[in-house]
A and B are shown apart, each in its own frame.
Chain A
Amino acid sequence: MIEDDIYRASSQYRLWSYTESSLQSLRATTNAVASERVRAALRRSRETHQSTASSAGTPQSETSAENKIKDANDIECLTPEEELVLVRYYCEKTLELGETYKPPMPTMVRATAIQYLRRFYLTNSPMTYHPKSIMACALFVATKTDNYYMSLRQFAEGIPGETTAEDVIAPEFLLMQGLRFTFDVRHPFRGLEGGVMELQAIAEGQGQPAPHLPHETAEDLQQGLLSIAPPPVPSSSMADRIARAHTKTRELLKSAAQMTDAYFLYTPSQIWLSAFLLADRPLAEFLLDVKLGGPVTATIPPPEIDDNGLVNPLYEIRSKLHRVLSECSALLQSYTPLSSDPVQMKNLKRIAKKLYHCQNPEKVNISAARKRESARPSPAIQSDAGPVTSESESERLAKKRKLEQEEAARQSDDVFGGELVTQRTKH
């Protein structure tokens, strides 16, 4: 299908699509690396604290110091699940933050910001960078990438609390690195409009058949649409029914689709169709029948086998889609807003408290860290490259220098001289 190939060219498909298992393992890896660093950083900070304390002359017993180091070793870090809950909470916060502006930010901008946050926290941990600081920056970047102009000053003023413009853009580069510089987010919203447009056209008898099923006429389609099962909530007319399903789907896409992993696991068209299935199942099934032909039910086995002994490709797609859409709908349905659920809120509070203790102390102040980083002639910060200890850094630099010298010596032996362009080394 041509449309699918067009989607396959997008960065969302190429870089930000995962299977459930790969998503899980990725989060686990990120979490493990981040906890390791948090522990190392905390240990270091305590050591320096202790050494300054002892140099100040405060008597301190060896045992207590040892205890502290032991403490640092079994600091409780967040689990990947806890991280996920935290990120989801801040995604909800992003929605609210967008609402506070006057006029409220478009849904698209907010959704983009949420996806940025989610993508960023795939390879970064909330323990390293607190979502509170990243959130505002993500929203600000989203206003830029979604062409919704807002000056930085205006943006910073809209944020409740003491947030300066400087604070907003401090993690900007960090965020972009985490996003792998792909700012394109394919949302299901516009797709929904398209689908609804098609349905309306069919309802008014102006529909046209899909290219693979050219035998149907506009009247056939209209008759088909009128003869589908009635909606759960009775409606006055077909247009009314479509409009109602549209609104409901839109609400689902705004919340559930954003707060779950739907964007990583499914394509935008699958997301909107599964939301549509939740909103008005017969209508969504009808649209699929029109596009891909033949209703698929579990009871009727696939009878269509063409001359080449192959299953009709449309049928195959349809049956696969049936499975994928029901999975996606289940995922969307499983979502309940955190703030509405007291149990979840309690859990969240616990996580927040835990995070307070296991926050990486070297990364708390991003703008200060950024200044330090730019002052130091060190390689560019890799996303989650993490804290680099000063001694290991100098050791590494020494090693690099040695390697370079060896390389130069080797090249000077070369009859034709060394390479003109030195190879780029990967930091």
Chain B
Amino acid sequence: MAPDAASRRDEDEVCPVCKSSRYLNPDMRFLINPECYHKMCESCVDRIFSSGPANCPVAGCRKTLRKNRFRKQTFEDIGVEREVDIRRRVMHMQYSQINRITSIRLNRREEEFDSKRAYDDFLEQREDIIGNLVSRIDVAKTEAQLHKYATENMQSIRANQAIEAEEASSFQARISLEQEEARLRRQAAREEYETERREIQAGREDFLSKLASGSSTDAAAIAREGHKVLLKKSSARRSEEERIRQKQAALRSSELKRGSNLSTADFAGADTGLVKGLRKIKTPEPEKPYDPFMGYVPDKRDYYTLQSYYPSQYLDPIRNDARMLAGGYNLQDYYSRTLLEAFAGLSCFIGEEVSQRDAARVTKPAATEGTALAAESGQGV
């Protein structure tokens, strides 16, 4: 029934422009333009739009159409076709149309939102927008909104686009990798089987030749030995295989890790006018240079400035004495050590600091550990 009906309808299909019907021209193909979705036959498109953009020939429609935008209809219902186009435009694919940003890309991802609720709100809002566009409610206003959003969020749109693309490609890569691995495994198994077979063959021949040359008494011994050799060989091979397999597994896991390491890019746009509840994006602070001393400056001193030379009648002869310097003696080390010791602890006022320390140590009755221990052992006896 259905094919019949379809073919019948096909047969009396008529091009709204040139009025030629399929009955007369069975090769006739219909094209549409997403600008106005008016249907016309291929020959009409060639005829009217070959020489550049022109108005839609359908009466009452004054849209300017271009030939390159004409395409085949995917869905039978023109309404569905239009809705799919709008969805695609709003969410995913990008048209390259001159002078117009057609890819609005309301493609926020769930992890960009503060909560599940915010994400759901966003999805609802997107459906509203699409609904408006489809049923032509407030089209101008909605378009303006989308346009504004697109210009404002160019960067994050790009980033999300990149993430999507990368996901797709990494998925592809993983699949191809798996296939490759499966192929390698199969090949390895085949080779393994082959070598094992060959070895068994060789062992058997060896064993036979031994039997032939040896006397009849040690036949049993030879047989046992031959069996043992075979076993040993196979176990050695097995361990070798095990090693290779482990290596491959490690390789695979590292590959996977690399794949999952896709970082979500930094999004500059925070809450935009259109989309609410976006997570505040913190650009991580640029890493400070590594400081191994945790803020401590190695040669910084508070009491003195280390000089490269101190006049001293004892030390002056050493400065040029090859016997001293040959061994690596460095007068600078002596300077820094003596000066450090000269002033280290100059303002450690032990009287104050130690009494504070002792006061902090309230658990111990005696002033120091030593006496505490002595007292303890005294009580213990």
Chain B nearest CB, measured from A199 CB (Å): 10
| B300 in contact with A321 (CB, 8 Å) | no
Q: Interface 1/0s, chain A 7-28, versus B by CB < 8 A?
A: 1100001010111101001100
Kindly state whether residue A222 has any CB partner on chain B within 8 Å. Answer: no
Q: Interface 1/0s, chain B 302-326, versus A by CB < 8 A?
A: 1111010111100000000000000
Chain A nearest CB, measured from B379 CB (Å): 10
Kindly state whether residue A342 has any CB partner on chain B within 8 Å. Answer: no
| Chain B, interface residues (CB within 8 Å), range | 35 or more
Kindly state whether residue B370 has any CB partner on chain A within 8 Å. Answer: yes
Given A197-B312, A197-B335, are A26 and B344 neighbors across the interface (CB < 8 Å)?
no
Comparing A133-141, A158-166, A184-192, A277-285, the segment that makes contact with chain B is A184-192
| A2 in contact with B339 (CB, 8 Å) | no
Comparing B31-39, B235-243, B347-355, the segment that makes contact with chain A is B347-355
| B374 in contact with A123 (CB, 8 Å) | yes
| B367 in contact with A26 (CB, 8 Å) | yes
| B335 in contact with A1 (CB, 8 Å) | no
Q: How far is the CA of A321 from the CA of B93 in the complex (A)?
A: 79
Q: Report how many A-B pairs have Cβ atoms within 8 Å.
A: 188
Across-interface contacts of A268 in B (CB, < 8 A): 341, 344-345
Kindly state whether residue A361 has any CB partner on chain B within 8 Å. Answer: no
Q: How far is the CA of A269 from the CA of B345 in the complex (A)?
A: 6
Q: How far is the CA of A269 from the CA of B378 in the complex (A)?
A: 38
Q: Interface 1/0s, chain B 201-219, versus A by CB < 8 A?
A: 0000000000000000000
| Chain A, interface residues (CB within 8 Å), range | 35 or more
Main secondary structure of the interface of A (DSSP, over half): helix
User: Which A residues between 5 and 59 are near B, CB-CB below 8 angstroms?
Assistant: 6-8, 13, 15, 17-20, 22, 25-26, 29-30, 33, 36
User: Which A residues between 191 and 221 are near B, CB-CB below 8 angstroms?
Assistant: 191-195, 197-198, 200-201, 204, 206, 208-212
Kindly state whether residue A384 has any CB partner on chain B within 8 Å. Answer: yes
| B366 in contact with A190 (CB, 8 Å) | no
Across-interface contacts of A15 in B (CB, < 8 A): 368-369
| B354 in contact with A17 (CB, 8 Å) | yes
The one of A4, A8, A194, A392 in contact with B342, judged by C-beta atoms closer than 8 angstroms, is A194
Across-interface contacts of B346 in A (CB, < 8 A): 1, 3-4, 267, 269-270, 273, 291, 317, 321
Kindly state whether residue A176 has any CB partner on chain B within 8 Å. Answer: no
Across-interface contacts of A317 in B (CB, < 8 A): 346-347
Closest to A201 in B: B310
The one of B335, B337, B354, B374 in contact with A19, judged by C-beta atoms closer than 8 angstroms, is B354
| B310 in contact with A200 (CB, 8 Å) | yes
Across-interface contacts of B378 in A (CB, < 8 A): 33, 36, 386
Kindly state whether residue A320 has any CB partner on chain B within 8 Å. Answer: yes
| A33 in contact with B345 (CB, 8 Å) | no
Across-interface contacts of A211 in B (CB, < 8 A): 300-305
Chain B nearest CB, measured from A361 CB (Å): 17
| A193 in contact with B303 (CB, 8 Å) | no
Across-interface contacts of B335 in A (CB, < 8 A): 194, 197
| A6 in contact with B374 (CB, 8 Å) | no
Given A267-B348, A267-B350, A388-B381, are A198 and B302 neighbors across the interface (CB < 8 Å)?
no
Q: Can you identify 25 A-B contacts, CB atoms within 8 angstroms?
A: A1-B303, A1-B343, A4-B345, A7-B344, A13-B348, A19-B355, A25-B367, A191-B343, A193-B342, A197-B312, A197-B335, A200-B310, A200-B312, A209-B305, A211-B302, A267-B345, A269-B342, A269-B345, A317-B346, A320-B347, A320-B349, A324-B349, A386-B378, A386-B381, A388-B381
Q: What 8 A-B pairs have minimum CB-CB distances, sorted nearest first?
A: A194-B342, A267-B345, A7-B345, A194-B338, A22-B367, A191-B342, A7-B344, A123-B370
Give A residues with C-beta under 8 Å from B: 1-4, 6-8, 13, 15, 17-20, 22, 25-26, 29-30, 33, 36, 122-123, 180, 186, 190-195, 197-198, 200-201, 204, 206, 208-212, 265-270, 272-273, 291, 317, 320-321, 324, 382-386, 388-389, 392, 396, 427
